[in-house]
């Protein structure tokens, strides 16, 4: 049978990108090529094209044409990184290679277009306003009051979002973001409630599997307070959240995502009522949610993604066998990790529940990423057991740093969010 030539685009074949590439390579009749910036891990590919900037569609097109000249027609060009979805889609369109269109990507990643699509489908979203000047932001504030959020229309992750509590915050944020007609930002009402994620595996616009998980506290709170050890919990029981799930399924259907993994975020009030969906993307979720999905259903999440985007198949149905939770390990301070306490106690007491971990190491430089200096993932058939164990970890492990103050500022987050959004364990290429 004919070999399928598949191109995977990533900055470097490390961490989650390497696992995604390996899953693609493991499919039947696949010859895997790479377009990369950094040659680390390039041996996973049959051949690579190295470019200066993988976010530049023109560079991707030139690199793909070189691969075509050397190896023949390409069947797929793919990425698992959010910020690369649109340039990769533009590359496919320029070369006539089938796959998700740039219009579909833009409709989802552009927060204003996303909200418009969801509202047209009857899906709740918070109030928002496109801001091109300070007067736009002031008018929006007069309608909804403090706090509000300011975010780039296509920003990736909470690191690109600034929470505005005061007029001084607004002035500072607008100075950093410099909104204009050419570069607008989105102002959005702040939702006070429980943050949930809604993840799906979708074939031909039909959802094959859906899942929810919770952030404690919200991602934005975790970013605003770098000392917090935040938690993501994937409960075993999800039928208690029928309204959230129903609206999430309607949202995915309205976005017409084809063969894809999707990830959405929304909020519930204290009574469990949906306040609205805020963000969406078209790739496996970050914050360890992809691996957690695998642990909850006892599947290989990377292979499941590869099967969907290349084979157009889903190997389901799947049973949710476990509750899963991850805690991200951080603390107050900056500089170098001086001391890490409580690791052996947690290994001894909770070893049977631990399915994945990256332990913080003394001597390492503190990560400024929202995922911190390490993580521990647990699973158990009972959701309450997972919650209790995560709280035990939160109260047991202590990290001290060489400098007492945390020094990450708004300007660092906003200007460097693409880099800061990468987990510490991927920045150096370690697995």
Contacts of residue 391, Cβ cutoff 8 Å, sequence gap at least 6: none
What are 364's two structure tokens? Answer: 């390492």
Work out the end-to-end distance of the chain between its first and last CA atoms, rounded to an integer number of angstroms: 34
Question: What is the Cα–Cα distance from 17 to 14, expressed in whole angstroms?
Answer: 5
> Residue written as tokens 């290989």?
300
What is the pLDDT tens value at each position of the chain, 431 positions in all?
799 999 999 999 998 999 999 999 999 999 999 999 998 888 999 999 999 999 999 999 999 999 999 999 999 999 999 999 999 999 999 999 999 999 999 999 999 999 999 999 999 999 999 999 999 999 999 999 999 999 988 765 566 788 999 999 999 999 988 999 999 999 999 999 999 999 999 999 999 999 999 999 988 888 888 888 999 999 999 988 899 999 999 999 999 999 999 999 999 998 888 999 999 999 888 889 999 999 999 999 999 999 999 999 999 899 999 999 999 999 889 899 999 999 999 999 999 999 999 999 999 998 878 888 999 999 999 999 999 999 999 999 999 999 987 665 555 555 544 444 454 445 443 33
CA dist 123 and 104 (Å) reads 18
Backbone torsions φ then ψ of 60, nearest 5 degrees: -65, -40
φ/ψ (deg, to 5) at 399:
-120, 130
- Token couple for 391: 């709280």
Determine if residue 178 is left, alpha or beta; phi over 0 gives left, psi from -120 to 50 gives alpha, anything else beta: left
Report the C-alpha gap between 375 and 324 in whole angstroms. 13
Q: What backbone torsions phi and psi does residue 26 show, to the nearest 5 degrees?
A: -80, -5
* Full set of structural domains in the chain with CATH: 4-99 (3.40.50.20), 127-189 (3.30.1490.20), 194-410 (3.30.470.20)
pTM metric for this prediction: 0.91
Longest pairwise C-alpha distance within the chain = 65
Pairing of strands 334-341, 398-403: antiparallel
Rounded Cα–Cα distance for residues 369 and 330 (Å): 10
Q: What CA–CA distance (Å, rounded) separates 103 from 94?
A: 13
């Amino acid at each position: 049978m004919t070999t399928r030539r598949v191109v995977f685009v990533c900055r470097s074949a490390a961490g989650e990108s390497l696992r995604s590439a390996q899953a693609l390579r493991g499919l039947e009749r696949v010859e895997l090529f790479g377009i990369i910036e950094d040659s680390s891990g390039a041996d996973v590919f049959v051949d690579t094209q190295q470019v200066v900037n993988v976010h530049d569609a023109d560079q991707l097109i030139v690199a793909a044409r070189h691969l075509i000249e050397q190896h023949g027609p390409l069947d797929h060009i793919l990425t698992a990184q959010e910020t690369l979805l649109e340039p990769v889609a533009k590359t496919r369109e320029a070369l006539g290679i089938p796959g998700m269109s740039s219009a579909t990507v833009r409709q989802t990643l552009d927060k204003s277009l996303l909200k418009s699509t969801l509202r047209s489908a009857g899906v709740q979203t918070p109030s928002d306003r496109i801001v091109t000047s300070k007067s736009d932001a002031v008018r929006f504030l007069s309608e909804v009051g403090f706090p509000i959020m300011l975010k780039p229309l296509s920003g990736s992750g909470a690191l690109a979002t600034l929470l505005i509590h005061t007029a001084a915050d607004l002035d500072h944020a607008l100075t950093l973001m410099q909104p204009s007609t050419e570069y607008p930002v989105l102002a959005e009402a702040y939702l006070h409630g429980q943050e949930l994620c809604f993840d799906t595996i979708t074939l031909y616009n039909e959802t094959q599997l859906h899942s929810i998980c919770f952030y404690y506290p919200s991602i934005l709170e975790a970013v605003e307070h770098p000392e917090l050890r935040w938690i993501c919990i994937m409960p075993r029981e999800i039928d208690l959240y029928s309204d959230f799930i129903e609206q999430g399924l309607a949202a995915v259907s309205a976005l017409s995502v084809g063969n894809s993994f999707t990830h959405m975020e929304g909020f519930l009030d204290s009574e469990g009522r949906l306040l609205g969906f805020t963000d969406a993307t078209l790739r496996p979720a970050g914050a360890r949610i992809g691996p957690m999905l695998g642990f909850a259903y006892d599947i290989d999440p990377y292979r499941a993604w590869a099967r969907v985007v290349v084979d157009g198949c889903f190997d389901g149905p799947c049973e949710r066998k476990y509750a899963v939770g991850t805690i991200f390990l951080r603390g107050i301070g900056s500089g170098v990790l001086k001391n890490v306490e409580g690791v052996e106690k947690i290994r001894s007491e909770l070893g049977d529940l631990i399915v994945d971990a990256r332990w913080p190491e003394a001597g390492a430089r503190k990560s400024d990423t929202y995922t911190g200096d390490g993580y521990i993932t647990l699973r158990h058939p009972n959701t309450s057991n997972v919650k209790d164990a995560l709280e035990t970890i939160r109260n047991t492990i202590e990290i001290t740093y060489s400098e007492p103050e945390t020094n990450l500022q708004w300007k660092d987050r906003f200007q460097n969010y693409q880099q800061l959004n990468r987990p510490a364990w991927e920045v150096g290429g370690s697995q």
